[in-house]
Structure 1
Amino acid sequence: MVVVTSEPREDNFKRVIKRSYSDDSESEVARKKIKTEGEKKRRVKREQKEEEEAEEYEWWRDQNGDKDDTIRWTQLEHQGVLFPPEYVPHGVPILYDGEKVYLEPEIEELVGFFAALLETEHGANPTFQRNFFNELKLLMSKSKRKYPIKEFSRCDFRPMYEYFQKQKEEKKQMSKEEKAALLEERKMIEEKYGYCILDGRREKVGNFRIEPPGLFRGRGAHPKTGCYKRRVRAEQITINIGKDAKIPEPPKGSKWGNVIHDQTVTWLAMWKENVNDNTKYVFLAAGSSLKGQSDLKKYEKARELKKHIVRIRKDYMAALTSSDGKTRQRATALYLIDRFALRAGNEKGDDQADTVGCCSLRYEHVTFEDGKVVFDFLGKDSIRYYNKVEVHPAVYRNLVSFQRAAKTPGNLLFSLINTVELNKHLSSLMPGLSAKVFRTYNASHTFQQELEKQDVTPASSIHELTLAYNRANRQVAVLCNHQRAVAKNFSGQLSKIADRLMGLRYECRRHIDLLKPNLTDLSLADRAKYDLAPFEQACRDDPDRPITTEWLYSYFADLLTKDIERLEKKKASDATQSNLDSIEEKLASLSSELSTLNSKKEALSSSKSSKPYIPEMYRLTFNSIDKSFSTIQRLYTRIVATKTALVDKDENKTTALGTSKINYIDPRITVSWCKKFDIPVEKFFPKTLREKFKWAMHADKNFKF
């Protein structure tokens, strides 16, 4: 029998189970030895990390304002790029009118790309299907073999899809040794291609892998989704490397398209992909000195705009009423870019997604309601931008005038200017100024202001501070239109958090009920030390989700199931003979309680008693007032944290916070805020961002954008 004290149920029971895993025959000496060895390993690892950090080139401490930044490096050595493996045919057919059709390797590879996506949104997308089938017909027309395939609707790709699903399952069943071998192979590849020598320093390379062939997916409603993204060959690739460095070897039987030694660029390799004719590059990793210098310059340029912003705004506001049509259009565009963080925008061809920015707004993208302007268009990545806003009267009049001049849908509102001219004008107002600098400035400036508005103090909990930070970040994401669709499983995720909150409230209330009778004999002064009022308030039921007997049975059944799964996993993995009997005994006890609980639940409707059955291992026994009160305090802290997480999750459902944090908000604002409130920066910057923004980690708590 397991005796549970007045500590939180779940944590306490886990500790009881965890203790049962220990080998009772293990000597105290052996345990101390394991502990000592563990501490030694941790110390060695810590020393290695400190040594690596000490050797790291802190380029931000060695900045020279007079340095000619057209030359980006003097020495560059690297191993080139890693190509995806050549295709290996599997010989699985597809069905056409129910008949098997076997395909030659190149066609089989293309069909395989579609078959693998059969049960996805891409596979069901008519544009994706049409483009893929056009590619398939083109490839079949070049073959010497004759294929009966004429119509997409008569094709059945399921045999190939099932083959790929079986492969996935087999991969999941790989042994530890096989997984370890794959990991070792990846490490060797990373060691060879993942680093370069830049000016005598070893620096990490970004994505050195050539994109494998496949079907282009694109973002949003891209008209080329489903087109064949062909395999890239060495002959298409330009290598950039130092003159004195050894040129990396291309794959056997091939040669590089070109080898150059351009010290004014920071890419290591370059090629063009066939779908959109876009140029792809291999750069250094985000945390490299060159990338870091670029980021720092970007944010310093945005900070420089602070010195000019009042003058620039005064100028474009005056130009809103100019008699010159081109000047009026330019001033109106600047107003929209500055106030609403619109991108400058470029005209798109017919083969590109119909996304627009400020200069490419058309007649149909702007309407007028109740004295306000309504913008409704597809922005970058086909994300809808919808905003109903009040604007300056002169801007309102100008937009009405521009729309009247455009006359019909499809015609540009800003017909007299383009992005090249706009950016040229901006650079005359401040060296290096562009529409993107405005966007970075407004994002960082807004974030700084929103953080200062938050009602938090150094005494606020980490959960309150996190919510405040995310709310400030959310305002920037809204400004920059960083939206996302509500996740398909969002309601399920929210429900899980709500269930966890209900469980915590229930446990807290149980401990309060256990403690209360033991406070009656205390003096008034002593009783005041154990004030339960705030905790009772926190434990009140949510009116929309009351704790019912049915819910409690589900709650305990879930706890029992999870504890059984934990023990089963332990039993199957590394249980020793000495503790196997103990595990078996506990499993039998848990299973018996689960069976009893389910029986009670089935009989609930006919039972007159509303008091739920509580499994033996989850029943509470009173130990002491102090321990019980401490447990209630801990549960209360978790209730507050979970409530905050629930609010944060709900508020973030349609907003993507990552993009603004990665690309538009000066990271020194975050670091400074963390230092001010003594929060680990890891709370907001995962390892990848801490690597990317190493230079920002040295900002002090008084930094202001």
Structure 2
Amino acid sequence: MRSDSSDDDVPLARASHPSAPTISASADREMDKSASRARPAPPGVSIRNGPVDDRMDIDSTPNGASKRKARASIGRVAVKYKEESDSDDGAPLAKRQKAKHQTVESDSDDAPIARKNGRLPPSIKETATLESSDDDQPLGTKIAQRKAGIEKAAAKEAKAIRADAAKAKKATPKKAVKDESDDEPLARPKKRQSNGVASAKKANGVKKEPESDSDAPMKKKKAAPAPKKGKAVTPAKGAKAVKDESKDNSEGDDEEEYRWWDAPKKEDDSIKWTMLEHNGVLFPPAYEPLPKDVKLYYNGQAVTLHAEAEEVAGFFGSMLHSTQNVENPVFQKNFFNDFKDIIKKTGGAKDGNGKPIDIKDFKKLDFTKIFEHYKALGEAKKARPAAEKKAEKAEKDKAEAQFMYCKWDGRKEKVGNFRVEPPSLFRGRGEHPKTGTVKKRVMPEQVTINIGKGAKVPPPPPGHKWKAVQHDNKATWLAMWQENVNGNYKYVMLAANSTVKGQADFKKFEKARELKKHIDRIRADYTRELKSEVMADRQRATAMYLIDKFALRAGNEKDTENEAETVGCCSLKYEHVTLREPSTVIFDFLGKDSIRFYNEFNVDRQVFKNLKMFKKAPKEDGDDIFDRLTTSQLNKHLSSYMTGLTAKVFRTYNASWTMSHLLQKLKVDNRPMPEKIKLYNDCNREVAILCNHKRTVGAGHEAQMEKLGDRIKGLKYQKWRTKMMMLDLDSKLKKKKGAEYFELGPDLDEAWIEEHQKFLVNEQKTKVEKKFEKDNEKLAAEKKPALPAKELKERLKTVSELEAKFKKENKTKKVEAEGKGPTVEKLTAAVEKLDERIKTLELQSADREGNKEVALGTSKINYIDPRLTVVFSNKFKVPVEKFFSKTLRDKFNWAIQSVGDDDTWEF
């Protein structure tokens, strides 16, 4: 680790071609020589996320990246009218799929920014979220100007906060003043030493303290009748404690919700609990061997395997449908190596006569029979009667009930991930080098239990014992073991809606709120140091610029050879950055979870010059760009401005402060509910764009938009039919309302109408058949005879009648009035309701189209303070359920309850 007192300790061992310790004026001028005459795009935004062309002034291609593959065109579907979910509130960033039995809850602040797949992110120009304008100003320029304006407002607010704090301190008698650095204006850092970092004790006037534990309780808050600007929130006056809906009430537990945000601060923050009781973990069921007629084949011969090896063969065979995995050469290689080892360890493979078979060629393996077996089991499981499924679920819930909750300091708290993950093949995210490796079955002998001293230790499965039992009240995990693939430790933690998790979220956002007091000084300092003569200082300033402006992760150094080659800002290598004059930087590297981060950014000219200098010959592929900087050094420097400040706090601050700034500008009016929801999403979308929270357009986006379009057209067709029914009742209406009122819309041609009518007929038929099947299932459960086939035939007559009605309407161009006692007044009211539904869907369509390239979930769930969403909900009278799913309402219950009905709270 590099020391902060001497340049001699800079980690130059990481680079075979280190940067010079200092920068001469002549070297600085040299970087200006290749400046292009081309007009640079505005700094601070992504100008285009796509394949880089050959017009590179510095590097010919970005990291040898292959060109973007054209998205498969989606054929036009005549009518797609099914109801679809219009919200992904509960979905993690970019709708990431989670493992069925996830054993570790990820830190929400570490959620990836880019969409978790290998495709290239979208262009910012294709997602217009700012106000439309008739001028020719590019969207990129508008966003850059907006971002600059927001940063200027942030600087102004920071100065005002410090000025107010200084006045308050001056007006308070010296005896009453507490030594709290949080409320004191910070002095500008003194000139750095050779490595650019002064000691934490002196720099910026902030006393160096240990970083706060994310699980430590928060500070006690003072009760106040109403929250003030910039102050920590207090519960609404008269707010009642509410019962947690998510808690299991089967035991008649009527305890009130624990409002930890009102609780006094513990004397010892390091103590997490004084009493802890739980029932351990739930292990997956034992392996069920394949039927004797289902075999793995090698070179055409059926293979007999030991149960352990057969189970591993089943892992691969059951996922033949997942071609992106089983056809991946790395996946195949890792699986085959592990498979051969297990075969050897378990006595080898044999043919039908018991003779050994030497399995040494993966291509000769045939898993087809195994795949067909598991596919048939899956289909049979789906086809079971509802009653059988219900009974199985009840049995499963009963088995899991004892593990779902624990007693934490006498409170009932939900456990988040009590199931031990079953054995399988490791898939990983992105281009993980260990994809396909066998994840071995976790045994009780590998599991360590953490529990209170006086509590009863949960018994391990019969015939087994725990690895260890400990009573560490400074830890928040209940059980722990080490997995075999990456050697990572897996922890059983409390659920997202628990006290511990809520406190961690609260502290994360409070830390980001504190950053707003210092952000102007930090930005001013790193901007000045972009021109520092000390290489270490210049590298640190450049890294801080990239982290602040583009939400890059700081990155950590790798400790093992087999760990995925993922990088962050501080660990970027020569080949990860391509420069294009005059100020475009192309990043192409594997980020968190081995997800490819590919993006083009327009940067400040000085930053471009610095990166050019950091890549200067003789540096080459494999050399570090920031070879005089580490993540720990960067975070140590940041902590000199504010206790506990690290690089990742900037992502939370930038998202929350921007959202707060946008919401303050909104005016309350009487617009319809759908428009209010879209207004919130528009602000959320702008935050996502400004913070570069983007995603690739999903493969099914066009099809989904087409379905939504067909739903809108279907409602328009229904509205037209309703108007025609009005004419059927009163032909004089055509003269009164005008012929135009009764005309078919321009987007509804006869061909589409006929296709839509067929869809409606088929939909009606499906409904009748499903109802018939459901009635028979109900009769079977009651042990009564099933309905005869002629009953179905009788019910299907309504389908034939509907089909005949449409044919007649198409021929006569008239529609007979339907319903009980139809009147012109009733039909007019129906038309108005249809108009409202059409407008709502059109708003949803525009919203979804705007969101296609922006990861709203990433911002809303992980980076925007949830209290801002609650304030918007209160201010615009929109139920918070419109923004937070049930899962998120449980997770952010502390925010909902602490803000109460207040609509003035500010970040």
> 2:270 is aligned with what amino acid?
T
Within 5 Å, give how 1:487-502 maps onto structure 2. Answer: 487-502=698-713
Residue 479 of structure 1 and its aligned partner are, at CA, apart by 4.7
Distance in 2 (CA, whole Å) between partners of 1:411 and 1:519 is 83
- Higher mean alpha-carbon deviation, 633-642 vs 169-178, is at 169-178
Distance in 2 (CA, whole Å) between partners of 1:651 and 1:570 is 38
Distance in 2 (CA, whole Å) between partners of 1:144 and 1:329 is 57
Distance in 1 (CA, whole Å) between partners of 2:374 and 2:691 is 40
Q: 1:130 aligns with which of 333, 341, 344?
A: 333
The answer as to whether partners of 1:237 and 1:256 remain within 8 angstroms in 2 is yes
Distance in 1 (CA, whole Å) between partners of 2:254 and 2:733 is 57
The answer as to whether partners of 2:287 and 2:311 remain within 8 angstroms in 1 is yes
Percentage identity across aligned positions?
Answer: 46
Distance in 2 (CA, whole Å) between partners of 1:689 and 1:173 is 32
Within 5 Å, give how 1:426-575 maps onto structure 2. Answer: 426-452=638-664, 457-515=668-726, 540-541=745-746, 546-574=747-775
The secondary structure found in structure 2 opposite 1:647 is: helix
| 1:353 partnered with 2:555 | no
- 2:864 is aligned to 665
The secondary structure found in structure 2 opposite 1:400 is: helix
* 1:676-704 alpha-carbon deviations (Å, 9 max, x no partner): 11111111111111111110003121121
- 1:216 is aligned to 426
- Higher mean alpha-carbon deviation, 336-345 vs 655-664, is at 655-664
TM-score with structure 2 setting the length: 0.66
Distance in 1 (CA, whole Å) between partners of 2:795 and 2:831 is 28
- Higher mean alpha-carbon deviation, 654-663 vs 220-229, is at 654-663
Cα separation, partners in 2 of 1:389 and 1:173, compared to 1, 3 Å: closer
- 1:74 is aligned to 274
Residue 309 of structure 1 and its aligned partner are, at CA, apart by 1.0
* 1:160-199 alpha-carbon deviations (Å, 9 max, x no partner): 0000011112211333443233222222233201110111
- 1:675 is aligned to 874
The answer as to whether partners of 1:622 and 1:628 remain within 8 angstroms in 2 is no
* 1:26-71 alpha-carbon deviations (Å, 9 max, x no partner): xxxxxxxxxxxxxxxxxxx99x99x97871111112243x743111
The secondary structure found in structure 2 opposite 1:435 is: coil
Distance in 2 (CA, whole Å) between partners of 1:704 and 1:417 is 36
The answer as to whether partners of 1:478 and 1:655 remain within 8 angstroms in 2 is yes
Question: In the comparison of the two structures, how many residue pairs are matched?
Answer: 639
Distance in 2 (CA, whole Å) between partners of 1:558 and 1:523 is 30
The secondary structure found in structure 1 opposite 2:579 is: strand
Residue 641 of structure 1 and its aligned partner are, at CA, apart by 1.5
For the aligned residue pairs, the C-alpha RMSD in angstroms reads 3.3
Cα separation, partners in 2 of 1:507 and 1:612, compared to 1, 3 Å: farther
Distance in 2 (CA, whole Å) between partners of 1:573 and 1:74 is 53
> 2:307 is aligned with what amino acid?
P
Residue 313 of structure 1 and its aligned partner are, at CA, apart by 1.4
* 1:622-649 alpha-carbon deviations (Å, 9 max, x no partner): 9434322221211111111111222222
| 1:85 partnered with 2:294 | no
Q: 2:298 aligns with which of 96, 111, 114?
A: 96
Residue 327 of structure 1 and its aligned partner are, at CA, apart by 0.9
> 2:297 is aligned with what amino acid?
L
Distance in 2 (CA, whole Å) between partners of 1:522 and 1:228 is 74
Distance in 2 (CA, whole Å) between partners of 1:332 and 1:536 is 64
The answer as to whether partners of 2:282 and 2:400 remain within 8 angstroms in 1 is no
* 1:120-164 alpha-carbon deviations (Å, 9 max, x no partner): 121222211111111111112223233332211111100000000
Within 5 Å, give how 1:259-658 maps onto structure 2. Answer: 259-348=469-558, 350-377=561-588, 378-404=590-616, 407-452=619-664, 457-515=668-726, 540-541=745-746, 546-574=747-775, 585-591=794-800, 593-594=802-803, 611=810, 623-658=822-857
Residue 399 of structure 1 and its aligned partner are, at CA, apart by 1.4
The secondary structure found in structure 1 opposite 2:593 is: helix
The answer as to whether partners of 1:235 and 1:255 remain within 8 angstroms in 2 is yes
Cα separation, partners in 2 of 1:335 and 1:503, compared to 1, 3 Å: same
The secondary structure found in structure 2 opposite 1:374 is: strand
The secondary structure found in structure 2 opposite 1:460 is: coil
The answer as to whether partners of 2:550 and 2:692 remain within 8 angstroms in 1 is no
The answer as to whether partners of 1:239 and 1:270 remain within 8 angstroms in 2 is yes
> 2:759 is aligned with what amino acid?
D
Distance in 2 (CA, whole Å) between partners of 1:518 and 1:417 is 81
Within 5 Å, give how 1:107-256 maps onto structure 2. Answer: 107-120=309-322, 121-145=324-348, 146-256=356-466
The secondary structure found in structure 2 opposite 1:271 is: strand
Residue 611 of structure 1 and its aligned partner are, at CA, apart by 4.5
Residue 650 of structure 1 and its aligned partner are, at CA, apart by 2.3
The secondary structure found in structure 2 opposite 1:281 is: strand
Residue 472 of structure 1 and its aligned partner are, at CA, apart by 2.5
The answer as to whether partners of 2:556 and 2:631 remain within 8 angstroms in 1 is yes
The answer as to whether partners of 1:195 and 1:204 remain within 8 angstroms in 2 is yes
Higher helix share: 1
* 1:643-678 alpha-carbon deviations (Å, 9 max, x no partner): 122222223233332233222111111111111111
| 1:694 partnered with 2:905 | no
* 1:62-89 alpha-carbon deviations (Å, 9 max, x no partner): 243x743111111001111111112121
The secondary structure found in structure 2 opposite 1:376 is: strand
The answer as to whether partners of 1:372 and 1:388 remain within 8 angstroms in 2 is no
> 2:749 is aligned with what amino acid?
T
The answer as to whether partners of 1:451 and 1:468 remain within 8 angstroms in 2 is no
- 1:27 is aligned to none
Cα separation, partners in 2 of 1:439 and 1:195, compared to 1, 3 Å: same
Cα separation, partners in 2 of 1:593 and 1:506, compared to 1, 3 Å: closer
Distance in 2 (CA, whole Å) between partners of 1:650 and 1:159 is 43
> 1:688 is aligned with what amino acid?
T
The secondary structure found in structure 2 opposite 1:321 is: coil
Cα separation, partners in 2 of 1:142 and 1:433, compared to 1, 3 Å: same
Cα separation, partners in 2 of 1:122 and 1:425, compared to 1, 3 Å: same
- Higher mean alpha-carbon deviation, 103-112 vs 584-593, is at 584-593
Distance in 2 (CA, whole Å) between partners of 1:202 and 1:153 is 54
The answer as to whether partners of 1:140 and 1:147 remain within 8 angstroms in 2 is no
The answer as to whether partners of 1:383 and 1:483 remain within 8 angstroms in 2 is no
The answer as to whether partners of 1:553 and 1:612 remain within 8 angstroms in 2 is no
Cα separation, partners in 2 of 1:517 and 1:170, compared to 1, 3 Å: closer
Query: Which structure 1 segments of 5+ residues have no match?
Result: 1-9, 11-44, 601-608
Distance in 2 (CA, whole Å) between partners of 1:310 and 1:77 is 47
The answer as to whether partners of 1:552 and 1:612 remain within 8 angstroms in 2 is no
Query: Which structure 2 segments of 5+ residues have no match?
Result: 1-80, 82-244, 349-355, 780-784
Distance in 2 (CA, whole Å) between partners of 1:370 and 1:438 is 28
The answer as to whether partners of 1:96 and 1:155 remain within 8 angstroms in 2 is yes
Distance in 1 (CA, whole Å) between partners of 2:831 and 2:262 is 50
Cα separation, partners in 2 of 1:494 and 1:587, compared to 1, 3 Å: same
